[in-house]
């Protein structure tokens, strides 16, 4: 190995070492989105509604969505949404009333 190729190899190793050090000590990037949800789906009914309703709960985001199938348009229609986390906080603040 010649002295020129040895210097080139040492320089390359130094550059790679600096790159690894920069990546190791750089601040970590944090995603802007929320965590992936865990979903639970339950079928049911509601008073005054003859068709079935699907309740989908996201247990991570603490949200519930009520959907109903529309045969004419062949799509789901949203019937309602609740944020369970907000409801639980409000119930705790109001003393459970």
pLDDT of residue 89: 86
The 10s digit of each residue's pLDDT in 42-82 is 999 888 887 889 999 998 889 999 999 988 999 999 999 99
Per the DSSP assignment, residues forming a β-bridge with 52 are none
pLDDT of residue 15: 93
Contact 74, 85 (CB under 8 A): no
pLDDT of residue 51: 86
Q: What residue spans define the domains of the chain?
A: 39-93
Q: What is the mean pLDDT of the chain?
A: 86
pLDDT of residue 97: 58
Contact 82, 88 (CB under 8 A): no
* 3-state DSSP assignment of residue 63: strand
């Amino acid at each position: 190995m010649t002295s020129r190729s040895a210097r080139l190899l040492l320089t390359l190793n130094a550059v790679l070492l600096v790159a690894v050090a920069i990546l190791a000590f750089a601040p970590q990037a944090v995603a802007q989105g929320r965590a992936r949800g865990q979903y639970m789906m339950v079928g049911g009914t509601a008073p005054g509604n003859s068709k079935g309703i699907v309740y989908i709960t996201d247990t991570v985001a603490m949200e519930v969505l009520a959907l109903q199938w529309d045969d004419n348009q062949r799509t789901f229609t949203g019937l309602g949404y609740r944020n369970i986390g907000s409801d639980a906080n409000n119930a705790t603040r109001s003393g459970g009333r």
